[in-house]
Structure 1
């Protein structure tokens, strides 16, 4: 009888841990998706003197690839009957791309503030 109760408690803990993992992963993927979208918006407003057009094109392609990877990851998670995690090896390029978006935002911000009338 004690084993059955312990088994139910263990299953409940595993279910709770799985739900927490799913929530954390969904939130993380939402963040990546947000920054990839923001990067595309920044590129549209980016002047040539901040980033040359060829470089903007390459970054836009990487942002689109990142969004596709996020969509594929969401599909895999949805299709799985078990909680899933994403390895750091997979996420490292995404994180690097988000860092590039932040750097672009900073460049655009400093360009705008230097052009502001005094």
Structure 2
């Protein structure tokens, strides 16, 4: 008998599947950004470390997605796994916002 406190496969598929897709999108986008841009506000080592953390998170995410798919949405993901991914995405957003801000400041300087 199934534990009624656990979410069913339909709920997991409805909630978790799009969340995993979002993580995949943001990690991919951030990885491409860090591989193609040199960020003046980060040392080369800091940028490399962030890129490596993204690559590691992508590997973890791919494994989680494979398990989720292989079990036909019968397996959830612990919050202890999701929270570091969420924090990493937020860190990537902060880096991208800072980069865009510097780009905008540079364009303002050029037009003066």
Q: Same fold (TM over 0.5)?
A: yes
State how far apart, in whole Å, the 1-side matches of 2:14 and 2:23 are.
Answer: 14
**CA shift for structure 1 position 48:** 4.2
Larger radius of gyration: 1
Describe the superposition over 1:76-116 as per-residue Cα deviations: whole angstroms up to 9, x where unpaired: 11222562221111111101100111001111011101100
TM-score (ref. length: structure 1): 0.78
Unaligned runs of 5+ in 1: 1-16
RMSD of aligned Cα (Å)? 1.6
Unaligned runs of 5+ in 2: 1-7
**Structure 1 ranges of 4+ moved more than 6 A:** none
Size of the aligned set, in residue pairs, is 102
TM-score (ref. length: structure 2): 0.82
Match of 1:70 among 61, 64, 76: 61
Greater helix content? 1
